[in-house]
Amino acid sequence: MTLAPPRLSRSTVAGYSLGSVGTGGFATLPGLVLAYYLTDTLAVPAVAASVVVFAPKALDVLVNPLVGARSDAAAARTGTRRRFLLLGALTLPVFFALTFAVPAGLSTAASSLWVGVSFILAAIAFALFQVPYIALPAELTEDYHERSRLMSWRVALLGVAILLFGAGGPALREIGGGRTGYLVMGVVAGVLLGAGMSAAWAIAPRGPARSVADSGAAHGFADTLAAVRASEPFRVLLATFALQALATGTMLGGAQYVATYLLDSEGAVSILFAALVGPAVAVMPLWIRLVRAWGKQRAFLLASSLFLAATLALLGLLAGAGPWIYPVVAVAGIGYAGMQMLPMSMLPDVISDHEERTGGSVRAGAFSGVWTAAETVAMALGPALVLLILAATGFVSSDGDDVAAQSHTALTGIALAFTAAPALLVTVSMLVLRRYRLAAEERNRG
């Protein structure tokens, strides 16, 4: 008789979940305010701003898999990934603050360069933490449902982090106003990012070393890509998640523009975020129950369907904005909760499946490196896609003192970036998700 794996301790669940303060904050706040900071405070044209926003994150395509390979090698040799987690937790706050610390008096080109270089360094620091962090669940527990429990708490804390940074970040920005406000926001947010990341470092396995045979396994960049290519379930799940990350990144990137130009209130972005993320925390037990009844894939399809229905309803912005937008965004938030928790709990299942089929080789970092690279690029492409849509529809940038008047075409572009683009992306992702096949899914499906 096979004994069930032990239940994770509360301290382990809490420490791992607090890491979402770092991952959620870094994923949310730049996507929400960085493009707006460039176009409406530094007067960077929309096309140039799209390059500054996206180019640093594009480096993650190389950096994240490399970090994954190196962390796999360290885990195989020492049984732990703690060194990477700590280094990221200590350096990210510094570079994050510098991103929003452009000195007054710099030219537009120099300001763009300052933000670009700082954001590159912040992205590298984040990769050092995020890649081993995403790999941890496969090493913390082998149980299908316990991974769902771990991820439900992580996503609940992720929801709190998104509320904290999505609503609190712009509020901090208003304390000093203009450049000073962004600097205050960057420093305070950076400290909070580091604190959450340090909590995850504290609970990471210190572990005994892996077997001698495994510690000698190859963990180079090419080996990482080979492992990914060998797992069809991972490729399907990755494509689904990347498309949905692009969809949510696009919605995040468009939220500030919707608030300022359609709702006529720059501060309304905080309410939009509360409407999106608030329900996510409350409905997490629902997704746990659905996983036990239906399995993760079917629950994931339902979550995606709810998000899609809400984004289609938001096309009503083309007719006119108003308070009705908030409950519709709340429906999207219910789906968004599942779209965050479910793929993240499916990833350890895929990793374990691959490691079992290949004789127990350490590959969690390889998979998480490619996973986080795809997520980071997709989230960065979201604001960049918004900026390109705005440029194509005639959006006019501002210098931070006065909000420029926008044409009807530009306002239509803002609405479409916030609604139609995410809806199309989620539709494609659902078609991809139907191809997901995994033995663990079949065994645990209700």
Confidence of residue 199 (pLDDT cuts 50, 70, 90): very high
The domain tally of the chain equals 1
Tell whether 88 is covered by a domain.
yes
pLDDT at 349 over 60: yes
Residues 84-125 have pLDDT tens digits of 999 999 999 999 999 999 998 888 889 988 998 999 899 899
Residue 245 has pLDDT above 80, yes or no: yes
The CB-side HSE value for 164 (13 A sphere, CA atoms) comes to 22
Question: Is residue 446 predicted with pLDDT exceeding 70?
Answer: no
Summarised one tens digit per residue, pLDDT across range 354-411 is: 877 776 566 788 888 888 888 878 877 888 899 899 999 988 877 656 677 888 999 9
Is 301 in contact with 441 (CB distance < 8 Å)? no
Residue 171 in contact with residue 270, Cβ under 8 Å? yes
pTM listed for this prediction: 0.79
| Structural domain contains residue 6 | no
Range of the domain at 127: 12-205+219-444
Q: What is the pLDDT of residues 149-167, one digit of tens each?
A: 888 888 888 878 877 887 7
Give yes or no for residue 312 having a pLDDT over 90: yes
Residue 127 backbone phi and psi in degrees, to 5: -60, -40
Confirm whether 167 is domain-assigned.
Answer: yes
Q: Is residue 1 part of a domain?
A: no
Rg (alpha carbons) of the chain, rounded to whole number: 21
In a domain, 211, yes or no: no
**Is 201's pLDDT higher than 90?**
yes
How many Å apart are CA 316 and CA 260, to the nearest integer?
A: 17
User: Is residue 386 in a domain?
Assistant: yes
Structure confidence at residue 209 (pLDDT): 43
Do 292 and 146 touch, CB atoms closer than 8 A?
A: no
Res. 230: pLDDT tops 90: no
Query: Do 232 and 437 contact (CB within 8 A), yes or no?
Result: yes
Residue 60 belongs to a domain:
yes
Cα dihedral: 284, 286, 289, 295 (round 10): -80
CATH number where 373 lies: 1.20.1250.20
Residue 5 confidence class, pLDDT cut points 50, 70, 90: low
42 or 176, which is more confident: 42
Query: Tokens 């194509």 correspond to what residue?
Result: 392
Decide if 213 is inside a domain.
no
> What is d(CA 157, CA 20) in angstroms, rounded to the nearest whole number?
6
Cα–Cα distance between 77 and 95 in angstroms, integer?
Answer: 30
